[in-house]
């Protein structure tokens, strides 16, 4: 299992402090982050992939400083966004999954085999030649997940991956997340998604206000937002 | 190119994208230079045979070609007025042949193969041109068309819901703001996928 370390991390957007002196070690397999809008949870998650560089402190993934060695870190850390539409680049499902591997310098046959295996794993084989932008919301999110998984990252970070989905598609995505071998860090408002996780972190005004097993941390969050 | 690829195993599908692009350029140039209606008619028959060879259903092929008929509906009468019937017919058939050939290419070639072909074409110029970057720019251009179309549709619906149908401001401002935000998100997603230089 990988180790993600936050050492005295802070970040500001303009005059507003969104992450305030956070120190954490994430070594569990499935970690959830919850918090109200603007609590800093998405910023914290983005720091794991180097999408946001901390203004103070540092983030390490398996000992690699994310700010200095972002490219290496991104090979280990996949990121799934809330809106899958923003993640899709190529016109068809198969091409979009294959697009991720363009920079991996694999043999054509190896890349094709890896794409086929990923599509199969996520139940997208029948949609492989369909236009990606005409898929349903749930299918698009599965495609976004496939496009990340095809690179075989050790860690998967997801920022509210089910927020834009209906209950059925949210359950479908949750089922796929549950079956992944990767270390998972999931930011979510949907608390039931995190109930089976190993650890849940609750954020408020850029700080960690609870950090425990889901049954305790989620109760603390419910009290916080009540 | 925007999701019009029609999968298949025909010889046209299997032909390398570079060969198809080369032939497309040659045929369209020849069609532009030939002014004999008889030769253009023969070329039209050839194009129909190519579609048959590619096993592209007529319905799918027509969907790609019909939009040009709207252009011809305006252009042909003007050409008849200024150049006569024969010139109008030559122009119309020439345009139809060119559009049909381009449609055949996009229906039988995945975008990724076009990107590979373009990168191969640009390889001799690698000292001056970053082929990966050009390929990425092309892919993003293609991607942005349906993305922007969805965005404009949503904003127009919102504008109608607010009873501001005629307001250009109520269309332009949200479209520009959302387009910029979408561009930022798309850039972030590309960075996350390793396209960060």
Task: Give me the percent of chain B exceeding a pLDDT of 90.
Answer: 36
Mean pLDDT over the full length of chain A? 91
Angle at B197 between CA A161 and CA A129, to 5 degrees: 50
* B41 CA to centre of own chain: 24
Q: SS3 letters for chain A?
A: CCCEEEEEEEEEECCEEEEEEEEEEECCCEEEEEECCCCCHHHHHHHHHCCCCCCEEEEEECCEECCCCHHHHHHHEEEECCCHHHCCCCCEHHHHHHHHHHHCCCCHHHHHHHHHHHHHHCCCHHHCCCEHHHCCHHHHHHHHHHHHHCCCCCEEEEECCCCCCCHHHHHHHHHHHHCCCCEEEEECCCHHHHCCCCEEEEEECCEEEEEECHHHHHHHHHHHHC
Please name the residue that has the structure tokens 């200024």: B82
Partner residue facing B110 (CB), from A95, A130, A132: A95
Q: Can you give the pLDDT at residue A102?
A: 83
Answer yes or no: pTM beyond 0.90. Answer: no
Q: What is the spatial distance between Cα A47 and Cα A60, in angstroms, rounded to a whole number?
A: 10
Q: How far is A129 from chain B (nearest CA, A)?
A: 7
pLDDT tens track for B76-114 = 999 999 888 999 999 999 999 999 999 999 899 988 888
Q: Give the start-to-end residue ranges of the domains of chain B.
A: 11-109, 124-192
Residue range A5-18: average pLDDT? 92
Q: How far is B116 from chain A (nearest CA, A)?
A: 10
Q: Can you give the pLDDT at residue B139?
A: 79
pLDDT tens track for A173-210 = 888 888 899 999 999 988 988 999 999 999 999 999 99
Neighbours of A110 (CB within 10 A): 11
Task: Give me the percent of chain A exceeding a pLDDT of 90.
Answer: 64
Tell me if A198 sits within 8 A of A30, measured CB to CB.
yes
Based on its alpha-carbon atoms, the radius of gyration of chain B, rounded to whole angstroms, reads 21
Q: SS3 letters for A40-65?
A: CHHHHHHHHHCCCCCCEEEEEECCEE
- Predicted confidence (pLDDT) at residue A61 exceeds the cutoff of 90: yes
- Predicted confidence (pLDDT) at residue B2 exceeds the cutoff of 60: no
| B143 inside 8 A of chain A by CB | yes
Please indicate whether, in this complex, the C-beta atoms of B3 and A70 are within 8 angstroms of each other.
Answer: no
- Parallel, antiparallel, or unpaired for β A4-13 and A16-26? antiparallel
Q: Can you give the pLDDT at residue B193?
A: 83
Give the CATH number, domain containing residue A91. Answer: 3.40.50.300
Q: How far is B179 from chain A (nearest CA, A)?
A: 11
End-to-end CA distance of chain A: 35
- Predicted confidence (pLDDT) at residue B3 exceeds the cutoff of 60: no
End-to-end CA distance of chain B: 26
Partner residue facing B142 (CB), from A71, A83, A91: A91
Number of domains chain A contains: 1
ipTM score here? Answer: 0.76
Partner residue facing B196 (CB), from A70, A81, A89: A70
Mean pLDDT over the full length of chain B? 87
pLDDT tens track for A133-163 = 889 888 999 999 999 999 999 999 999 988 8
Structure tokens at A24: 């954490």
pLDDT tens track for A24-54 = 999 999 999 999 888 999 999 999 999 999 9
- The residue that leads in pLDDT, B142 or B84, is B84
Please indicate whether, in this complex, the C-beta atoms of B143 and A87 are within 8 angstroms of each other.
Answer: no
Q: Is A140 left (phi over 0), alpha (psi -120 to 50) or beta?
A: alpha
The domain of A25 spans: 4-225
Q: What is the spatial distance between Cα A99 and Cα A71, in angstroms, rounded to a whole number?
A: 17
Using a CB-CB distance cutoff of 8 angstroms, which residues of chain B are in contact with residue A147?
193
Sequence-ordered alpha helix ranges (H) in B54-110: 58-83, 85-108
Tell me if B169 sits within 8 A of B29, measured CB to CB.
no
């Amino acid at each position: 299992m990988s180790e993600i370390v936050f050492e005295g991390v802070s970040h500001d957007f303009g005059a507003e402090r969104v992450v305030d002196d956070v120190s954490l070690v994430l070594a569990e397999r499935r970690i959830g982050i919850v918090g109200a809008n603007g609590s800093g949870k998405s910023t914290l998650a983005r720091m794991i992939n180097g999408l946001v560089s901390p203004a103070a402190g540092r983030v390490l993934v398996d000992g690699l400083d994310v700010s200095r060695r972002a490219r290496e870190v991104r090979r280990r850390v996949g990121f799934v966004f809330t809106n899958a539409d923003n993640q899709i680049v190529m016109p068809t499902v198969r091409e979009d999954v294959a697009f991720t591997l363009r920079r991996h310098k694999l043999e054509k046959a190896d890349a094709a085999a890896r794409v086929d295996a990923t599509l199969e794993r996520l139940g997208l084989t029948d949609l492989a030649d369909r236009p990606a932008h005409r898929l349903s919301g749930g299918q698009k999110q599965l495609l976004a997940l496939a496009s990340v998984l095809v690179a075989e990252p050790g860690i998967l970070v997801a920022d509210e991956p089910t927020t834009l989905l209906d209950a059925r598609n949210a359950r479908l995505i949750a089922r796929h997340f549950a079956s992944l071998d990767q270390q998972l860090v999931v930011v979510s408002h949907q608390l039931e998604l995190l109930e089976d996780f190993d650890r849940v972190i609750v954020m408020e005004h850029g700080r960690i206000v609870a950090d425990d097993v889901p049954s305790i941390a989620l109760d603390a969050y419910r009290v916080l937002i009540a | 190119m925007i999701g019009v690829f029609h999968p298949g195993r025909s010889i046209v599908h299997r032909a390398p994208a570079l060969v198809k692009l080369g032939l497309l350029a040659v045929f369209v140039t020849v069609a532009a230079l030939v002014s004999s209606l008889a030769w253009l008619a023969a070329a039209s028959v050839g194009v129909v045979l190519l579609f048959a060879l590619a096993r592209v259903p007529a319905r799918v092929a027509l969907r790609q070609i019909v939009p040009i008929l709207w252009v011809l509906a305006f252009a042909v009468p003007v050409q008849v007025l200024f150049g006569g019937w024969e010139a109008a017919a030559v122009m119309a058939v020439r345009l139809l042949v060119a559009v049909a050939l381009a449609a055949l290419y996009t229906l039988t070639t995945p975008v990724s193969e076009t990107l590979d072909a373009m990168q191969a074409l640009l390889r001799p110029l690698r000292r001056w041109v970053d082929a990966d970057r050009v390929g990425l720019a092309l892919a993003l251009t293609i991607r942005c068309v349906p993305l922007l179309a969805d965005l404009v549709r949503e904003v127009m619906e919102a504008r109608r819901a607010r009873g501001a149908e005629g307001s250009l401001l109520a269309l332009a401002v949200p479209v520009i703001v959302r387009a910029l935000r979408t561009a930022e998100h798309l850039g972030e997603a590309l960075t996350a996928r390793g396209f960060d230089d």
